Chains A and B, each alone.
Chain A
């Protein structure tokens, strides 16, 4: 049995180790190791395409995580006190958001937004009076953030709601008895107690958005995110540079995960 577990761990980590190993390959060729070098890390960090893609990914992930944790937390708190059909409909929508494959979310968003933009753009033009200064709506960071926020917000609602469910009702009542306003109760009682869940939701949203390929592939328009860059590079052949980027991305996700874990753990102890 022990041996079996060991084999499974090996299966889980060997591919990751191989990528990390080959990222230090001195040779140009992806698959035979010709000595140790960190040159590919330098190349990757000096590649303007990589840096552009990284910038886009970081901005999108940060805005997504911020919006998702704010909107998701508000909704989770609001849903606590809501019953009846409105609650049932909302729950169904969250369930659908999480269950529908990412690829369907991607294509649905693509065709809906492109169609809506095609109608809106001439209208905006006539509203502005001249075609040059009128704003044009197009697929890009905005649509990417909107699609990612929709999905990750559903995750945040689920996480925060689980935390809210464990809180004592009497805490809020006690606060109200002591003449705290509803906002005061939220800020001084509820929020500190659910903060770890909100923060964990933020970090998970960030990781999801940063790693997402399939939704971005459809809705990013002419923007390139890091996963899109990596995917199109692999299509042209695996290089040590891609391995270096992959290793750095995995290290960064690892750090974020550990931070999320520690925060959740500390929250549980309180």
Chain B
């Protein structure tokens, strides 16, 4: 009883103090350095680590204070909502976000924008895309298309049997790359607006990897059970690709199967250089982040809001280029890689 009394008294006292302070400190956004928030899908993925580095550098250059936050896992919408609320409470001028759930994040972003915070999606568009003020991202469909075209040219003259190691069900990035690949390969007539993953007769096996190396390996092992004669492997990212390579090597099939991937991380590009991965579509998280911070700095200075979609570019990296598909070699790739 007494303990409970203390509990209520303590909470009550705190509430009173808070009420006494009121909203007096609300206007603090005007003083001091303007703040910019960066919210990534996860804390630890090298892609987002690089993005944070880029943002940090640019924020220092532009005279902004950077606040960062991340979800606990890919798909953790609640943490991102909480982070947006906290950043708005901290008085940020703008928020850069890689949405974990492209639809579910919309209401929280709308609330932030209603308080005149500039919100820019990085890497992944929200659904609908105009949920944010602007989008700085890789064209993931195009990234898929490039490796699709490459795989098509490379496998000319054989009967293609494709294994698709995807991300996770319902995640837009995975769907875009998947569909882009099949389009580039000429296997499916699909455009970037399709909201669901399509399939094609050439696809002999499809599995989810969550972009994880170990899961990529077991997915590949299962696919080899199902279709031992497959000859092309599409992977959602390079960790999944390296996992697939390990599985293929264990069966002595690594020379007979073509692995293509997306991302352009340093480990991945090294994999391309060493011949484990045939080609990868490289994207540029650093550029997304620095463009984003710049946009917020501009908004803080003169109130101009960035709008629309800015393609941060994608480049096919391979040392065995094929005619008709534009590509850069791994030396270029390593210079521009992340992670």
Indicate whether A and B interact. no
